[in-house]
């Protein structure tokens, strides 16, 4: 897992380490790592550091201090380094002295041309939207310059990824000690560019993880593999309650996802059986015993009783998606014994929370946590960065795979079927949701290959995604 920690946790680890080290040691480590990445970028872009034009945007705190010390290192290697302060009266004194001693200069405004801009305005001490003095500097970042953010892009909230107003968009973010949730969660995540983690010696073993991003090996360890003694019932039967006369395709796509999710069998319940069977003759039709239900894709309106019936099967895991989420009763969900996984997109999450869609989009992490808490269930919030929160609180999973091409009709139906199959195989709600999102994202990338993709191609690419994870 790639793990991210809250600012509070990082600060506590920092205090503990600082108490054991000489003053300035941590900042020196941070600045050395930052300067190394900057030098690498300059060498890649223009062949050498010597003679490069480097601009430092310098905030009033330690984030600015990191930038100044790194700037001093680049100046010593022959770069022309100009520091532009947000507030000329408040600059890290030691960093400023180091930069000056190395031949760097301070200017009141951002030069019109630069090879590299180092964003040292705000780090984990930033609060709320950028104040005007900071925003004015960000607006003047010269076009064509590579932008390196120090710790995180200024204007991005470290704990939530929220972006209130202007913010830096970086090519590379050099972060210290640990990932911060805001680097992995949109809208912040789309501002960070490539993230480089610099080890400064923080000890976070045993600290509470705020957000975790599974990697191939984590997902491989979760995926069910049939053994010699497996039969179709042991592998899990997933029941799919989906589709309507108006939306028969949703049933076909949810079943397609379920079939490729490792279930022993898929049982379909609903009015689109002909369409499902025409496509997948291996599907069982009609009610019967299942190890998990997927209920909701393409149901249309007026089918609440079917959702209620699935949820009433309290010993069997249930995934509720799309139309199934409408008017979902939190009391019923909380009363279930087996896992429940809710898979809303931002609009559905907003309806459940009684807020505007924009509120969910702007604060995805808060929204998914709130929903999971209210329903006491795992919640998978679909979107540019898919998040999965556990019902009982704790680390939220963020999906690192995926592609914007997946924002296509029916893609969510495939995901539901896939996650349902993993529930049927015995995975818990968070594991099933996050493993499904991971495979679905990879399949989307494979199917798209940089071109538009349709949902059935995503389902068809799922076996390749499984293989790539298990390799
Ligand atoms: N963690 C670690 O182990 C290590 C951390 N290190 C580094 O320290 C950084 C944290 O430094 P930090 O605590 O000094 O805070 P920082 O981010 O510089 O900002 C605070 C200043 O910003 C201001 N300000 C706030 N909000 C604002 C806004 N919206 N718009 C404008 N201004 C705003 C605020 O002003 P005030 O509220 O005081 O008026 C205050 O002056 C961290 O990110 C990393 O880079 C490394 O050196 C070593 C190891
Ligand atoms: K920054």
Enumerate residue ranges in the chain where pLDDT < 70.
none
Query: Is 119 marked as a binding-site residue?
Result: yes
Q: What is the C-alpha separation between 55 and 104, in angstroms, rounded?
A: 10
Tens-place pLDDT, residues 402-415: 888 888 889 999 99
Q: What is the C-alpha separation between 12 and 6, in angstroms, rounded?
A: 10
**200 and 284 belong to one structural domain:** no
Q: Which atom of ligand 1 is nearest to the CA of 121?
A: 18
Tokens matching residue 327 = 């008017």
Structural domain ending residue among the three candidates 213, 229, 255: 213
Write b or e for each residue in 54-75: b if 16 or more Cβ atoms lie within 10 A of its Cβ, otherwise e: bbbbbbbbbbbbbbbbbbbbbb
**249 and 145 belong to one structural domain:** no
Q: What is the C-alpha separation between 339 and 357, in angstroms, rounded?
A: 27
ipTM: 0.98
CA-based nearest residue to 461, from 286, 452, 445, 471? 445
**170 and 319 belong to one structural domain:** no
Residue nearest to atom 35 of ligand 1 (CA): 60
Q: What is the C-alpha separation between 231 and 3, in angstroms, rounded?
A: 37
Query: Is 87 marked as a binding-site residue?
Result: no
Tokens matching residue 279 = 């496509």
The ligand placed nearest to the CA atom of residue 119 is 2
**46 and 119 belong to one structural domain:** yes
Instruction: Note the pLDDT of residue 232.
Output: 74
Q: Which atom of ligand 1 is nearest to the CA of 134?
A: 31
Question: Is the beta carbon of 66 within 6 A of some atom in ligand 1?
Answer: yes
Residue nearest to atom 2 of ligand 1 (CA): 14
Question: Is the beta carbon of 20 within 6 A of some atom in ligand 1?
Answer: no
Structural domain ending residue among the three candidates 165, 197, 213: 213
CA of 73 relative to ligand 1 center, distance in Å: 21
The ligand placed nearest to the CA atom of residue 163 is 1
Q: How many domains does the chain have?
A: 2
CA of 107 relative to ligand 2 center, distance in Å: 19
Tens-place pLDDT, residues 404-447: 888 888 999 999 999 999 999 999 999 999 999 999 999 999 99
**195 and 267 belong to one structural domain:** no
**198 and 321 belong to one structural domain:** no
**68 and 86 belong to one structural domain:** yes
CATH code at position 110: 3.40.50.10260
Range of the domain at 15: 2-213
Q: Count Cβ atoms below 10 Å from residue 463 Cβ, excluding itself.
A: 13
Cα-based distances in Å from 463 to 195, 399, 406, 468, 469: 30, 19, 17, 9, 10
**33 and 75 belong to one structural domain:** yes
Of 29, 33, 62, best ligand 1 pocket probe by most atoms within 8 Å of the beta carbon: 62
**156 and 226 belong to one structural domain:** no
Question: Is the beta carbon of 177 within 6 A of some atom in ligand 1?
Answer: yes
CA of 126 relative to ligand 2 center, distance in Å: 9
Structural domain ending residue among the three candidates 180, 213, 246: 213
CATH code at position 373: 3.40.1190.20
Cα-based distances in Å from 139 to 150, 156, 261, 433: 17, 15, 47, 39
Query: Which 3 state secondary structure label does DSSP give 275?
Result: helix
**336 and 456 belong to one structural domain:** yes
- Angle, CA of 169, 171 and 176, to the nearest 5°: 90
**119 and 133 belong to one structural domain:** yes
Torsion of CA 184, 186, 190, 194, to 10 degrees: 0
Instruction: Note the pLDDT of residue 314.
Output: 82
Question: For the chain, what's the residue count?
Answer: 471
Instruction: Note the pLDDT of residue 234.
Output: 73
The ligand placed nearest to the CA atom of residue 65 is 1
CA of 158 relative to ligand 2 center, distance in Å: 10
Instruction: Note the pLDDT of residue 351.
Output: 97
Residue nearest to atom 43 of ligand 1 (CA): 123
Q: What is the C-alpha separation between 55 and 110, in angstroms, rounded?
A: 7
Question: Is the beta carbon of 126 within 6 A of some atom in ligand 1?
Answer: yes
**117 and 135 belong to one structural domain:** yes
């Amino acid at each position: 897992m790639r793990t991210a920690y809250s600012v509070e946790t990082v600060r506590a680890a920092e205090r503990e380490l600082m108490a054991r080290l000489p003053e300035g040691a941590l900042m020196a480590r941070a600045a050395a790592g930052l300067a190394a990445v900057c030098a690498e970028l300059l060498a890649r872009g223009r062949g050498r550091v010597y003679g490069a034009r480097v601009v430092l945007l310098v905030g009033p705190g330690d984030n600015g201090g990191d930038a100044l010390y790194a700037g001093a290192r680049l100046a010593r290697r022959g770069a022309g380094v100009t520091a532009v302060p947000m507030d000329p009266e408040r600059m890290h004194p030691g960093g400023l002295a180091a930069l000056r001693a190395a031949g760097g200069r301070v200017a009141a405004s951002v030069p019109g041309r630069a090879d590299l801009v180092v964003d040292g305005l705000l780090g984990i001490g930033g609060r709320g939207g950028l104040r005007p003095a900071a925003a004015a500097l960000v607006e003047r970042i010269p076009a064509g310059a590579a932008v390196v953010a120090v710790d995180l892009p200024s204007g991005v909230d470290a704990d939530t990824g929220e972006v209130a107003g202007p913010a830096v968009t970086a090519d590379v973010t050099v972060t210290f000690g640990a990932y911060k949730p805001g680097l992995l969660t949109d809208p912040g995540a789309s501002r960070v560019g490539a993230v480089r983690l610099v080890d400064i010696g923080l000890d976070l073993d045993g600290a509470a993880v705020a957000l975790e991003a599974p990697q191939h090996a984590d997902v491989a360890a979760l995926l069910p593999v049939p053994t010699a003694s497996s039969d179709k019932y042991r592998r899990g039967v997933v029941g799919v309650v989906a589709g309507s006369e108006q939306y028969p395709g949703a049933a076909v796509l949810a079943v397609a996802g379920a079939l490729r999710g490792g279930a022993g069998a898929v049982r379909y319940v609903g009015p689109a059986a002909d369409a499902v069977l025409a496509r997948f003759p291996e599907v069982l039709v009609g009610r019967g015993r299942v190890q998990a239900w997927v209920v909701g894709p393409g149901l249309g309106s007026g089918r609440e009783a079917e959702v209620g019936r699935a949820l009433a099967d309290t010993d069997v895991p249930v995934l509720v998606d799309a139309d199934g989420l409408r008017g979902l009763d939190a009391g019923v969900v909380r009363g279930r014994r087996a896992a429940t996984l809710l898979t809303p997109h931002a609009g559905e999450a907003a309806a459940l929370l009684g807020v505007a869609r924009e509120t969910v989009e702007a604060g995805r992490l808060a929204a998914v946590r709130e929903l999971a808490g209210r329903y006491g269930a795992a919640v998978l919030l679909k979107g540019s960065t898919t998040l999965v929160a556990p019902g009982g609180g704790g680390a939220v999973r963020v999906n690192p795979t995926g592609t914007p091409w997946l924002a296509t009709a029916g893609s969510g139906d495939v995901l539901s079927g896939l996650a349902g199959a993993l529930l049927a195989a015995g995975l818990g709600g968070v594991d099933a949701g996050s493993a499904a999102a991971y495979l679905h994202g990879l399949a989307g990338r494979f199917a798209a290959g940089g071109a538009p993709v349709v949902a059935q191609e995503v389902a068809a690419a799922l076996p390749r995604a499984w293989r790539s994870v298990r390799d």
